Amino acid sequence: MKKLKFLMVLCTTILILNPLLITKGVEGTTEKPNLTIFEESNITDYIWSSDGKRIAYITVPEGQSGYGELWIAFKHPNQARLLHKHLIYSGADCDSLFDYQGKWILFMIQNQDGTPSNYYGRNELWKIRFNGDNLTQITFTNTNGIRTTWSNSAYTNRGTVAWGNFIPGTDLVYFTAHNGNGWYKSYTCLNNGSDQWKSISGSKYAFTRGMSPTGNKLLWGHATYWNNPTTLMASNVDGTERITIKAFPKRTFPLVLADGNTVIWSWYDGNIHAIDMDGSNNRVVIDDAYLNYWENYHPVYNDTFLMRSNRAIDGNNHIFMINSDGSLIAQLTDGSYNDEGAMYSPDGCYIMYRRLPDDFDKATSSQPYPYELVIKSVEAFPWHWSHRHHYSETYRYSPLRQEYFEIYA
């Protein structure tokens, strides 16, 4: 009897001390030891919190299309697993979850399909605390002078914002909005609901946009019409030191890497290029027989980003890591799926992305599509210490890069 009690206590202790033995998450199934599929349906948008401890995501209930529910899920501290979730807001625009910095989530609200019967802040930016408190309207484009045209019935009783992000290290939000007839420009405003908007793009339009991860540079793409060739421009947060990065012969969306200087861009031809923020050093990252498109930047490695490509043996679209010089291409996802929408966790150890079976046809299906949301471990994260001349330096070893990377000194 004593042996049986001892074995029971021992097994319980092992399970507590070694959670890797548990392969069934509270809110997800573990397909592989380093990969968890979140058991939800109709997930239309998702994002990491800035500390990587939570994710926010939007689900659309059956029978709805344009709006849904905003949820928070807590991530296991050292596994690709979500622990528990809670609903924080009903009536979120299904694909307008923009940012999650500190305790605040930046998103749009929507509580009905079709044209709103009255103005209630739809197509404006709002923020909400991760616990569902303090819902606050951030932009007021319908009334503050950004909107100047009212004749287009497509924009009746709504604001004109298309996109927004908190600017790290400031009390500002960077966003694009149009004049009421589809002509977008870029602006900043305060993030506390007091507005005080300021024009960034000035007389230039902003049909594409971007921002450096640290918030030191704001980008926008000027064009004479939304799908015409893009002239990519940038400035400081206050709009000063405006520069023209490059005039492109096609519509072009930028991705700024973690170094704050390298701008990644690609077209529909499937090739990826890079250019420095000052417009110099325009170069090819990858140009081959496959279709390659940038996905997101690596938050730790300054010269690395994610791309979506059909270069895998199965011919499906999977997620790869690549350096900005085209080196070290590493496949991160696989299987009989097409993967998209990948983003690194803030520490770079995990990716989150969505996938559909490779035989699913979007052209013959209606939205929302039945995506699976996946969190996968892609980097080990041991810390290695060395002592030199009475001070310490911290390194992380990257198996993918096969090198030690200095985090701080």
Which strand ranges, in their side-by-side order, compose the sheet holding 272-276? 253-256, 262-266, 272-276, 283-286
Shared-domain flag, residues 403 and 377: no
Is the predicted pLDDT of residue 392 greater than 90, yes or no?
Answer: no
Mean pLDDT, the chain, rounded, equals 87
- Give domain status of residue 152, yes or no: yes
Q: Please tell me the least confidently modeled range out of 24-28, 247-251, 311-315.
A: 24-28
Q: Please list, in sequence order, all residues whose beta carbon lies within 8 angstroms of the beta carbon of residue 8, skipping any fewer than 6 positions away.
A: none
Shared-domain flag, residues 247 and 282: yes
Average of per-residue pLDDT across 268-275: 94
Residue range of the domain that includes 294: 32-383
Domain count, the chain: 2
Shared-domain flag, residues 207 and 305: yes
- The pLDDT assigned to 29 comes to 62
Strand ranges, E, within 110-250: 126-129, 136-137, 161-166, 172-178, 184-190, 198-199, 208-211, 218-222, 231-235, 243-247
Is the predicted pLDDT of residue 254 greater than 90, yes or no?
Answer: yes
Average of per-residue pLDDT across 149-167: 94
104 in helix, strand or coil? strand
Query: In whole angstroms, how large is the CA radius of gyration of the chain?
Result: 23
- Give domain status of residue 15, yes or no: no
Shared-domain flag, residues 124 and 187: yes
- The pLDDT assigned to 17 comes to 39
pLDDT confidence band for 33 (50 / 70 / 90): low
Q: Which residue has the tokens 């059956």?
A: 62
Shared-domain flag, residues 239 and 131: yes
pLDDT confidence band for 4 (50 / 70 / 90): very low
Is the predicted pLDDT of residue 113 greater than 90, yes or no?
Answer: no
- Give domain status of residue 20, yes or no: no
Which strand ranges, in their side-by-side order, compose the sheet holding 43-48? 43-48, 54-59, 67-75, 82-101, 104-109, 126-129, 136-137
Cβ atoms of 310 and 349 within 8 Å: the answer is: no
CB-side neighbour CA atoms (13 Å) of 368: 25
- Give domain status of residue 11, yes or no: no
Is the predicted pLDDT of residue 125 greater than 60, yes or no?
Answer: yes
- The pLDDT assigned to 243 comes to 97
Shared-domain flag, residues 404 and 315: no
Q: What is the C-alpha separation between 50 and 56, in angstroms, rounded? A: 11
Cβ atoms of 173 and 215 within 8 Å: the answer is: no
Digit-coded pLDDT (tens) for 329-354: 999 999 999 999 999 999 999 999 99
Shared-domain flag, residues 302 and 393: no
- The pLDDT assigned to 20 comes to 33
Q: What's the token pair of residue 161?
A: 């914002």
Shared-domain flag, residues 335 and 406: no
Element (H, E) at 6: helix 2-17
CATH of the domain at 118: 2.130.10.10
- The pLDDT assigned to 186 comes to 98
Q: What is the C-alpha separation between 257 and 210, in angstroms, rounded? A: 11
- Give domain status of residue 23, yes or no: no
Is the predicted pLDDT of residue 386 greater than 90, yes or no?
Answer: no
- Give domain status of residue 219, yes or no: yes
Name the pTM for this structure: 0.87
Is the predicted pLDDT of residue 30 greater than 70, yes or no?
Answer: no
Q: Please list, in sequence order, all residues whose beta carbon lies within 8 angstroms of the beta carbon of residue 143, skipping any fewer than 6 positions away.
A: none
Q: Kindly tell me the number of DSSP H helices and DSSP E strands found in the chain.
A: 1, 31
**Number of other CB atoms surrounding residue 151 within 10 Å:** 7
- Output the CA angle 346-351-353, nearest 5 degrees: 125
Average of per-residue pLDDT across 105-112: 93
How many angstroms from the chain centroid is the CA of residue 98? 7
Is the predicted pLDDT of residue 16 greater than 60, yes or no?
Answer: no
Cβ atoms of 57 and 45 within 8 Å: the answer is: yes
* Range picked from 2-11, 145-154, 256-265 for highest mean pLDDT: 256-265
Is the predicted pLDDT of residue 294 greater than 90, yes or no?
Answer: yes
Is the predicted pLDDT of residue 397 greater than 50, yes or no?
Answer: yes
Shared-domain flag, residues 322 and 389: no
Amino acid letter, 361: D
Digit-coded pLDDT (tens) for 70-99: 999 999 998 998 888 999 999 999 999 999
Cβ atoms of 40 and 373 within 8 Å: the answer is: yes
- The pLDDT assigned to 15 comes to 39
Is the predicted pLDDT of residue 10 greater than 70, yes or no?
Answer: no
Specify the higher pLDDT residue, 288 or 15. 288
Average of per-residue pLDDT across 105-110: 97
- Output the CA angle 180-185-190, nearest 5 degrees: 100
Is the predicted pLDDT of residue 388 greater than 70, yes or no?
Answer: no
- The pLDDT assigned to 209 comes to 96
CB-side neighbour CA atoms (13 Å) of 298: 20
Average of per-residue pLDDT across 149-171: 95
Cβ atoms of 274 and 265 within 8 Å: the answer is: yes
Shared-domain flag, residues 373 and 389: no
Task: Pick the closest to residue 167 from 209, 107, 212 (CA basis).
Answer: 212
CA distances from 393 to 196, 210, 388, 403, 408 (A): 43, 33, 8, 15, 6
- The pLDDT assigned to 96 comes to 95
Shared-domain flag, residues 176 and 316: yes
DSSP string, 315-355: ---EEEEEETTS---EE---SSEEEEEEEE-TTSSEEEEEE
